[in-house]
Amino acid sequence: MLTDYHLHLRPDEDDTTFDRYFTAENVERYRAAASAVGIEELGVAEHVYRFRQSLDLWRHPLWVENAHDDLDAYCEFVRGTPLRLGVECDYVPGAEERIEALLGARDFDYVVGSVHFIGDGDAAVDHDGFDVWESDGDAEEIWRRYFEALAACARSGLYDILAHPDLVKVWGRSRPLPERDLRAFYEPAVEAIAESGIAVEVSTAGLRKPVGELYPSRQFAEMCVEAGASFALSSDAHLPEQVGFEYDRAVDFLGELGIDEICVFEQRQRSQAPLGARVG
């Protein structure tokens, strides 16, 4: 079995209206791309901030600018397709009850939890419009805060899958790395992963980014394995041609870690399936 659960049906750009991308034809393009590489389980996890309902959780300027669509119309559309229904929902500290209410009111198959923004302000680790590296602190501080936020995301119990777990590295060599052993930064997140049992996403998206690596790093993944974590597999595609992107590398990576099962989800119930191989 191969899965691709963290899919977006459109790019993160202006002018990507719901009506243009949430169509049977577009879903069919994703399905065709998936079956060409042997992916059986496909699910969509649109960014929560594209929906008006997200403004109950947070009024980040990026969210205010993008929150045009209706979350219930999205759920209804996806339920009319063969795709699993997911959503990528940021962890917003202090908004736990509102996140729980928003998620609990809908019949998602799974919820992908992510950390893009850190600190008290609007700064993001992966968005050059709100770049944390321009505003806040040094590498040690940014990495520490990122992984503390990731730990809180895991520990919140709100999510099934922990997205792109070391996203803070996304810019690669164009940003400084902490001087300390990176395992010291991973540690609080690994502890929270172990306590919560959340599935850790192995994402090939990092291979398309300046860092040019899978999320998570090998060291981080090894610590997760040692802590008994389960894994989910995704590409974070924003286009049909990114479905299953470089999956042979992810499959090899999991194999080298001694992982032979991946998580599958239905109605927020998790089970394990034997890890398959990419074809073609």
Q: Which positions lie near Zn ion, rule CB under 5 A?
A: 88, 114, 236
Closest distance of CB 28 from Zn ion, Å: 21
End-to-end CA, the chain: 15
Neighbours of 210 (CB within 10 A): 13
3-state helix, strand, coil in the chain (%, to 5): 45, 20, 40
If the CB atoms of residues 4 and 88 are measured against Zn ion, the closer one turns out to be 88
Q: Which residues have CB under 8 Å from 178's CB, separation 6+?
A: 139, 140, 143, 185
Measured distance CA(256)–CA(157) in Å, rounded: 29
If the CB atoms of residues 113 and 188 are measured against Zn ion, the closer one turns out to be 113
If the CB atoms of residues 119 and 261 are measured against Zn ion, the closer one turns out to be 119
If the CB atoms of residues 109 and 236 are measured against Zn ion, the closer one turns out to be 236
Question: Which secondary-structure segment (H or E) carries 262?
Answer: strand 261-266
Measured distance CA(150)–CA(136) in Å, rounded: 18
Closest distance of CB 181 from Zn ion, Å: 26
Closest distance of CB 166 from Zn ion, Å: 12
Measured distance CA(213)–CA(246) in Å, rounded: 11
Closest distance of CB 168 from Zn ion, Å: 12
If the CB atoms of residues 41 and 236 are measured against Zn ion, the closer one turns out to be 236
Cα separation values, 227 from 32, 75, 146, 159, 260, Å: 37, 34, 20, 19, 16
Closest distance of CB 258 from Zn ion, Å: 27
Closest distance of CB 12 from Zn ion, Å: 8
If the CB atoms of residues 29 and 261 are measured against Zn ion, the closer one turns out to be 29
Three-class DSSP category at 184: helix
Starting at the earlier edge strand, list the strands of the sheet with 110-114.
3-7, 41-47, 84-90, 110-114, 161-162, 199-203, 231-234
